[in-house]
Amino acid sequence: MWKWNYIWIQFLISLLLLIEFTFAKSTASVAGLTSTCPALDPRLNYRPVIGILSHPGDGASGRLSNATDASYIAASYVKFVESAGARVIPLIYNEPPEVLQTKLNLVNGVIFTGGWAKTGLYFDVVEGIFNQVLKKNDAGHHFPLLALCLGFELVMMAVSKNNEILESFSASNQASTLQFVKDLNIEGTLFQRFAPELLAKLSTECLVMQNHKFGISPETLQGNKELGSFFKILTTSTDENNKVYVSTVQSESYPVTALQWHPEKNAFEWGLSMIPHSDDAIQVTQSVANSFISEARKSFNRPPAKEVLDNLIYNYPPTYCGYAG
């Protein structure tokens, strides 16, 4: 009897050792899998911050505030940036120049939004920031700019040095297609990150939102020496009267892209009846956001974390203006 007990104890010991060995091997295997995650690219900034320039007014046609110094940033632009993995610092256009400069030194790229203001202090600030974008890049600091709708128009004025360069178009509250210029190579452009099937649909389905009364024709852009040398045309669109205007451009030498259309509206705005909200339209929003923030990640500006936190848009209370208009 004792002999059998002895054999049984030996068997249990062997079994326990086998289980322990198997468990250790399994743990090592799991640890091995974890350690195979590729290292992050040290050349990229995985905590990008974007400066969004505020626009004069309260964002609700004066229904919320008639203060002459009021300005706003529509929430859709903030959500647009955050959806691609970046944070926002508001660049309040009528802040003292030294404050604006401090904020510009904290960000990795800038967005000019839609709106109506084309003169006075607002234009001067836009032109000043635009020139700083160019200087930063000329100095070797990758610093992208995305100019949307009004931003597109203001950049046209700034580059051409002609405040009368814009033409009238009828493209208010209009969903449209994007017609790519002939033989366009999309590599290195905003559209490089678009899925091929989505890229094809842009030319046949109304997946982008237009909401403007001004713009620039291909003939005017190409006929202007400054604009023609600075920008290449990527797409055109057609207004309600079948007039063709430039809808997407990209700088030949700088990470500057300008859209006459509104990529942020598809996913994050509901006030206009013609904003497209289909699956494909939402993918357009996300693809543009991803493309722009991927450019911002190339910026090696990494300011102190506390300075960034002190200036983020989260320090400002949001105001819901949906009921106001």
Between CA 193 and CA 186 the distance in angstroms is 9
**Beta strand 145-148 pairing with 256-259:** parallel
Identify residue 20 by its one-letter amino acid code.
Answer: E
**pTM for this entry:** 0.87
Residues 6 or more apart whose Cβ sits within 8 Å of residue 10: none
* pLDDT tens sequence for the chain (325 residues): 444 444 545 655 555 555 555 544 554 444 455 568 888 888 999 999 999 999 998 787 777 887 888 899 999 999 999 999 999 999 999 999 999 999 999 999 999 999 999 999 999 999 999 999 999 999 999 999 999 999 999 999 999 999 999 999 999 999 999 999 999 999 999 999 999 999 999 999 999 999 999 999 999 999 999 999 999 999 999 999 999 999 999 999 999 999 999 999 999 999 999 999 999 999 999 999 999 999 999 999 999 999 999 999 999 999 887 765 4
Residue of 55, 142, 212, 262 with catalytic role: 262
- The structure tokens 């000019």 sit at 112
Cβ-based neighbour number of residue 234 at 10 Å: 22
Residue of 149, 206, 212, 321 with catalytic role: 149
262 is catalytic: yes
CB 199 within 8 A of CB 174: no
